[in-house]
Amino acid sequence: MMKFAAGLAAIVLSAVSAPAVQAQSFPDKPIELVCSTSPGSTAAMWCQLMAQVLAKPDVLGTPVNVVYKGAGSGNEAAVYVMSRPADGYTLLHASASFSGYMNLPTFSVKPDDLEFLVKVEKFIYGLAVRSDSKYKTFGDLVSAAKLAPGTIGIAGNKIGSIHHKHIISAFSAAGATVIHIPYQGSGDAMRDLLGGHVPAALGTIGQIMPHEKAGKIRTLVVLNETRSPALPDVPTIQELGYVYPISHQWQGIFLKKGTPDDVKAKLRAAFRKVVDSPEYAEYLKNSPHVEKAFEDDPEKLRESFQQELQSYRTFMQENGIL
Who has greater pLDDT, 74 or 40? Answer: 74
Rounded Cα distance, 308 and 316, in Å: 12
> Where in 183-289 does DSSP place strands (E)?
200-204, 217-223, 249-256
**Would you state the pLDDT for residue 272?**
97
Least confident of 17-26, 39-48, 84-93, 126-135: 17-26
Average pLDDT over residues 219-229: 93
Who has greater pLDDT, 257 or 187? Answer: 257
Q: Which of 254, 73, 267 is nearest to 163 (CA)?
A: 73
> Where in the chain does DSSP place strands (E)?
31-35, 64-68, 90-95, 114-123, 125-130, 153-156, 179-182, 200-204, 217-223, 249-256, 290-295
Least confident of 10-24, 25-39, 275-289: 10-24
CA atoms within 13 A on the CB side of 315: 29
Average pLDDT over residues 2-24: 46
Amino acid residing at 298: P
Q: Is the pLDDT of residue 211 over 70?
A: yes
Look at the alpha carbons of 220, 185, 38, 268 in this order and tell me if their dihedral is positive or negative. Answer: positive
Average pLDDT over residues 153-163: 87
Least confident of 34-48, 131-145, 273-287: 34-48
Average pLDDT over residues 6-33: 63
Q: What is the pLDDT of residues 100-155, one digit of tens each?
A: 889 988 899 999 999 999 999 998 999 999 999 999 999 999 999 999 999 999 99
Mean pLDDT, the chain, whole residue set: 89
Q: Is the pLDDT of residue 1 over 50?
A: no
Cβ pair 114, 254 in contact under 8 A: yes
**Would you state the pLDDT for residue 20?**
44
Q: How confident is the model at residue 23 (pLDDT cuts 50, 70, 90)?
A: low
Q: Which of 118, 108, 87, 89 is nearest to 257 (CA)?
A: 87
**Would you state the pLDDT for residue 6?**
45
**Would you state the pLDDT for residue 320?**
82
Q: What is the pLDDT of residues 127-137, one digit of tens each?
A: 999 999 999 99
Q: Is the pLDDT of residue 74 over 90?
A: no
Rounded Cα distance, 288 and 249, in Å: 14
**Would you state the pLDDT for residue 187?**
79
User: Residues near 286 by Cβ (< 8 Å), separated by ≥ 6?
Assistant: none
User: Residues near 140 by Cβ (< 8 Å), separated by ≥ 6?
Assistant: 134
Bridge partners (DSSP) listed for residue 226: none
Rounded Cα distance, 191 and 162, in Å: 19
What DSSP string runs through 27-92? -SS-EEEEESS-TTSHHHHHHHHHHHHHTSTTTT-S-EEEEE--STTTHHHHHHHHTS-SSSSEEE
Cβ pair 72, 115 in contact under 8 A: no
**What is the value of pTM for the model shown?**
0.78
